[in-house]
Amino acid sequence: MEQKNLILLICTVLSFFTVFAVNAVTIVIPSIATEFGMSNIIQNWVTIIFLLVVAVLSVPAGQISGKYGLKKVTIISIVLFIIISIANVLVTSQEQFLLCRLILGISLSFINVTSMAMIVNAFPPEERGKALGINITGVYVGLSLSPVIGGILNYNLGWRSVVLFGVPFLFAILALLLTRINEEWSSFENMPLDIKGSFAYGIGIVLFMYGFTILNTQMGIVLTVLGLIILVVFGLIELKQEYPVFDIRFFKNHKFLSANFASLCAYLATYAVTTILNYHLQYIKGFDSQTAGMILLVAPLCQVVLAPIAGRLSDKFVPQILAAIGMALGTVSLFLFSSLDAATPMVFLIVSMIIYGIGFGLFSPPNTNVIMGSVPAKDTSVASAAVATMRTVGQAMSMGILTLVFAFVMGDVPIIAQYYPLLISSCQITCIICVVLCIASVFASFVGIKSKS
């Protein structure tokens, strides 16, 4: 197999398992919550803590992987992933479980950045959209199969089998990287690491995102504001650095800016949907994890079909138009989800999920192509870090919105039958908020069409 195609295969499989590590565990959270006695707020933190770590490390991961080599950093990250996955099945408390999720996030934050950057380096510009579309298909296959595989494994073997599922496949990927990939990519090898900028970004984003999840308290308001102030300081530090961990000047490029903003709003609007639908199916409708996983297959299957098509189309047509159409369909689907309750027919839910899947499948590859194609080739690891950061910050804050609404409407309680009406109201309110964010993503995509640079 040609080197570039083997790299695409490796990175696509890695994309699958980074998604699986998050979404397969999401489907089994009710089982984990039962074993460890988790409240509704802690259940959401199983996902949030993972995404928070990825959001914090995605920015420095771009500079670190560019300095020490994309392949080398990927290998180290896979080894850490395997070790922590094995450790995760031995935990005996919710604190230990959350700690493992935190460390797993460290591993996947680097894999998210290096896999996309390797593809961009391996393929010429005229083939990049197609390659990215195939890679993102790996993400959508992960989104499709993770609830199904996770649900089946959990139903028959327990949640620990879900955590271990990826380990043998990652051993195979590790072997391919060590024996078949000869090339290494190091664009920043002679540049010093921006420790000051990385530290400021990490502290700022942690305070802001944690504060956001408890914004219903006085402490939450203080931490959110403090986090924003530190992030502004981070921006000022980066403007003065000769070798910044993230070059703020990239945002002077209007294509880069608008596509990243569209991505942030899209993930803010859509990521909590899987959790909302999972809660609806398992708690409100009373399905087991296996059945819920099969139903949740609908939307990602649409994304799997559309992602490679959208990637190819983005090489031929204006990618921002495709992205805007996709998020317009996402807006419609979220409006439909906002009416879900105990009496909602399954046909209505499935049709809404199909619209959602088509919309997001049409949005992501073209939007990613815009971001990756708007920077010089030497800066692909930084652009990849921006893509990963927008995605994970958006995902974490999407779960933060859901958690915040839970706190206001339900309080910190177990999800049991007496609180189901409040659970339904919380999910409906969250979907309405997400409709507004989808509209913002559509607007950002249209703004990007007019940008010449």
Task: Tell me the pLDDT tens digit for each residue of 269-317.
Answer: 988 888 899 889 988 998 888 888 888 888 888 877 887 788 788 878 8
Q: What's residue 421's pLDDT?
A: 92
Mean pLDDT lowest among 14-23, 139-148, 186-195, 307-316? 186-195
Q: What is the pLDDT of residue 173?
A: 92
Confidence of residue 118 (pLDDT cuts 50, 70, 90): confident
Closest CA to 367 of 306, 299, 311: 311
The helices-and-strands tally (H runs, E runs) of the chain is: 17, 0
Q: Report DSSP state, residue 217.
A: S
User: Looking at the predicted structure, is the pLDDT value of residue 381 above 90?
Assistant: no
Band (pLDDT 50/70/90 cuts) for residue 201 is confident
pLDDT in tens, 408-438: 898 878 788 888 999 999 999 999 999 999 9
Average pLDDT of the segment spanning 108-114: 86
Report which of residues 312 and 99 the model is more confident about: 99
pTM of the model: 0.74
Q: Which amino acid appears at position 159 of this protein? A: W
Q: CA distances (Å), 66 to each of 124, 144, 210, in order? A: 19, 31, 29
* Average pLDDT of every residue of the chain: 85
Per DSSP, the three-state class of 448 is: helix
**Residue 452 pLDDT class (50, 70, 90 cuts):** low
Question: N- to C-terminal Cα distance for the chain?
Answer: 37
DSSP string, 233-280: HHHHHHHH-SS-SS-GGGGGSHHHHHHHHHHHHHHHHHTHHHHHHHHI
Residues of the chain with pLDDT > 70: what percent? Answer: 95
Q: Check residue 175 and give its pLDDT.
A: 92
Opening angle at CA 77, ends 59 and 196, nearest 5? 30
Report the C-alpha gap between 4 and 11 in whole angstroms. Answer: 10
Res 68 pLDDT > 90? no
Please report which confidence band the pLDDT of residue 345 belongs to, taking 50, 70 and 90 as the band edges.
very high
Buried b / exposed e along 218-250 (16+ C-beta atoms within 10 A): eebeebbeebeebbeebbebbeeeeebbbbeeb
Q: How does residue 347 score in pLDDT terms, banded at 50, 70 and 90?
A: very high
Query: How high is the pLDDT of residue 377?
Result: 66
Residue-wise pLDDT for 139-184, tens only, equals 777 777 787 888 889 888 888 999 899 899 999 999 998 888 877 7
Q: What is the pLDDT of residue 336?
A: 95
Cβ contact 280:340 at 8 Å = yes
- Overall size of the chain counted in residues: 453
What is the arithmetic mean of pLDDT over 394-410?
A: 86
Element (H, E) at 90: none
